[in-house]
A and B are shown apart, each in its own frame.
Chain A
Amino acid sequence: MSDEDVQARLAALRVQYAERLGNDLQTLMAQARELAARQRAIEPQALETLRLGLHRIAGSAGTFGLPALGQEAREMELWVQTVLETAVAPTAPMLSALSDRLCDSYRLLTDAQTPAQAESRTGDAESAEERPVRVGVMSLDASEALEQALSGFGYACRRLAAPNEWREWQPDVAVIDTASLSAASWQACTAAVPGARRILLSADGGFDARLQAVRDGADGFFTHPVDVPTLERRLRHLINMPQQDPYRVLIVDDDTELAEHFRLTLKVAGIESRVIEHPRDVLRGLREFVPDLVLIDINMPGCSGPELARLIRFDDDWLRIPLIYLSAESDAQRQAQALAQAGDDFLVKPISDVALTAAVTARAQRSRQLSQALARDGLTGLIKHPAIKELIEIEQSRTQRSGAEACVVMIDIDRFKTINDTYGHGTGDYVIRLLANLLRQRLRRVDHIGRYGGEEFVAVLPACSLDNAREAIERIRESFAQLECVAGQAVFHATFSAGVASTLDWTDAGALLEAADRAMYDAKQGGRNQVRVARNVTPQT
């Protein structure tokens, strides 16, 4: 066999592998997401399953030409391993951070599979991930203010007028002020960017205006004067909306032919599903496949659909998953009885492919949004407070084991009370989100950022020296101070003070956090808007 033949065979294997890896990553993401949504302690076994999955990828991806992905998997594996070894119970936010990282890996894989596409989407060598979200603004009089305010949130924002400008820049979101423009003029522009989400601004907030916006394909609707923080929240929501990975559906039906038909129908719509023929396999199916939704046939031998639904509901872990009956049952009375027992909805067979797909997509989407909302801070989307402390413990034990330095940063917005008192709480929230966004953009993917208290943030920077941490935060401090905060007609600047401490200097998580806090307090005392480093005069041995 010639060298070329070998290469060809290896290339074919790579394609096969990538396909399987995609499935494996999806399963891991679903597992992490499910664990994150649990409201009670997580048994080590569940984590061990995750670790094994990651280990496998860490060991194989490089062989199949995906070294970056292998490296990512390795880091995540180490993270899970550390969690297992330190016996710190992982909290939901930690796990959703892991799930996010798995999503990134999945994107890495899909980008690797379709390099041409990825390139044309970004228009340059930058990866899709690093490119800031582009917001095009079109308005006669409000453009400048909007551009400024949204740029402050870290969006790439541009005022665009003619259709060719829109076509050239290809924004992700179009913000259109319909109050100051003729329908024909703005519609010509949105037609140039059919993929962009649409937010329409209007002078009139009445029902008819809203209905018109719906008919104009709006994804968001605001009336003048526009509340920028709310607009930004909507933007964030819209951008996060496109799904990273396909929805997952578990189909429980003893009619295997029909179930297979459903599976294929959903597959065509990009929804992954697994068929379970025997009701008694359902718990295993839930654990292994971790669906966003379960479709249950109502008439099955040995265990009826409603019985099975009740059985699933015994377990708190699956409370958030919609259970949908799928049945030829068209008698309303009996449907109501079934729903009274357990289960969330009914789909009547025969059902058209379109109706099935639509019903499943809508419910799966809700289900997933709900799980994500459970683990994160509502205002900033950052990790909630209790989880951060545990993350610090993990980094600390990692330092003790491998000697790798990690840093903890405490950040507090200066004179926050004055901002609230002067401009109102809405503006205060806006400043918090502004800083949250900035931290998210500027820190590395491996860093953890949490909201610690009202206006206080904590960042945990693994594998980072004290000097590098200080420099990174210093740069963020400078950028933040330069951002213009908009509150109605007023424009002001906010600043923060920060304290940095290293795991090399403090071996106890509480002490480390306190040290960072003290350094932050020193920064406040020293005049605010600065970064201080905590030095341990008598390093512990």
Chain B
Amino acid sequence: MQALHRVLHVEDDPSIQEVARIALEVVGGMQVASCDNGQAALGKAAEWQPDLILLDVMMPGIDGPTTLARLREQETTREIPVIFMTAKVQANEIEHYRSIGGLDVVIKPFDPMTLASQLREIWERMDER
């Protein structure tokens, strides 16, 4: 099984971007690239080919679900798994994000000390399927 190594984090809040970078790079030993909007993520994902995209749901400009739809339209990014990150509003929303093609949903606020292991767990579950 291929280990989770390269993560593209798409998030408009710079504080969250930075704390996630520490959480994934320093605590989790992963390689991280960050984008602050969906449009930029489309290009970065095609060029950098991450193992996984961690995608914020609510962003100015194109939001998370739309970004996912566009990623699926692009030949070079079609297969990249996407995990949504959201400040949960309602339980049925999580179901919704799974149903539109999100691998899973990480709830904000997250704990920086365990974010990496949370992603790895989801990653390994995907491989088992």
- On A, residues with C-beta under 8 Å from B are 1, 5-6, 9-10, 13, 16-17, 20, 52, 55-56, 58-64, 67, 70, 74, 77-78, 81, 402
A63 touches B27 (CB 8 A): no
Query: What's the least CB distance linking B32 to chain A, in Å?
Result: 14
Can you name 20 extra interface pairs (CB under 8 A) apart from A9-B22, A52-B58, A64-B109?
A: A6-B26, A6-B113, A9-B26, A10-B22, A10-B112, A13-B18, A13-B19, A20-B15, A56-B13, A59-B13, A59-B16, A59-B86, A59-B87, A59-B109, A61-B109, A63-B16, A63-B19, A63-B109, A70-B109, A74-B87
In the complex, what residue of chain B is closest to A13 when comparing beta carbons?
B19
List residues 1-54 of chain B with CB under 8 A from any CB of chain A: 13, 15-16, 18-19, 22, 26-27
- Could you tell me the distance between the alpha carbons of A263 and B107 in the complex, rounded to whole angstroms? 39
Q: Does B100 sit at the interface, judged by CB under 8 A?
A: no
When distances are taken between beta carbons in the complex, the residues of chain B under 8 Å from A6 are: 22, 26-27, 113
Q: Which of A5, A9, A13 contacts B15 (CB 8 A)?
A: A13
When distances are taken between beta carbons in the complex, the residues of chain A under 8 Å from B58 are: 52, 55
Given the known interface contacts A1-B26, A52-B58, A81-B89, the answer about A63 and B108 at a Cβ–Cβ threshold of 8 Å is yes
Query: What's the least CB distance linking A64 to chain B, in Å?
Result: 7
- Could you tell me the distance between the alpha carbons of A67 and B110 in the complex, rounded to whole angstroms? 10
Q: How many A-B residue pairs have CB under 8 A?
A: 60
- Could you tell me the distance between the alpha carbons of A196 and B89 in the complex, rounded to whole angstroms? 44
17 contacts between A and B (CB under 8 A): A10-B19, A13-B15, A13-B18, A13-B19, A13-B22, A56-B87, A58-B108, A59-B13, A59-B87, A62-B108, A63-B110, A63-B111, A63-B112, A64-B15, A64-B109, A70-B109, A402-B90
- On B, residues with C-beta under 8 Å from A are 13, 15-16, 18-19, 22, 26-27, 58, 60, 86-87, 89-90, 108-113
Query: What's the least CB distance linking B48 to chain A, in Å?
Result: 24
Query: What's the least CB distance linking B64 to chain A, in Å?
Result: 12
When distances are taken between beta carbons in the complex, the residues of chain B under 8 Å from A5 are: 26
- Could you tell me the distance between the alpha carbons of A67 and B87 in the complex, rounded to whole angstroms? 13
Q: Which of A9, A62, A77, A78 contacts B109 (CB 8 A)?
A: A62
Point out which of B86, B109, B113 has the most chain A C-beta atoms below 10 A from its C-beta: B109
- Could you tell me the distance between the alpha carbons of A62 and B13 in the complex, rounded to whole angstroms? 14
In the complex, what residue of chain A is closest to B12 when comparing beta carbons?
A56
When distances are taken between beta carbons in the complex, the residues of chain B under 8 Å from A77 are: 89
Query: What's the least CB distance linking A95 to chain B, in Å?
Result: 21
Query: What's the least CB distance linking A502 to chain B, in Å?
Result: 22
B27 touches A59 (CB 8 A): no
Query: What's the least CB distance linking A82 to chain B, in Å?
Result: 11
- Could you tell me the distance between the alpha carbons of A59 and B110 in the complex, rounded to whole angstroms? 8
B89 touches A60 (CB 8 A): no
- Could you tell me the distance between the alpha carbons of A70 and B112 in the complex, rounded to whole angstroms? 16
When distances are taken between beta carbons in the complex, the residues of chain B under 8 Å from A1 are: 26
Given the known interface contacts A1-B26, A6-B27, the answer about A55 and B15 at a Cβ–Cβ threshold of 8 Å is no
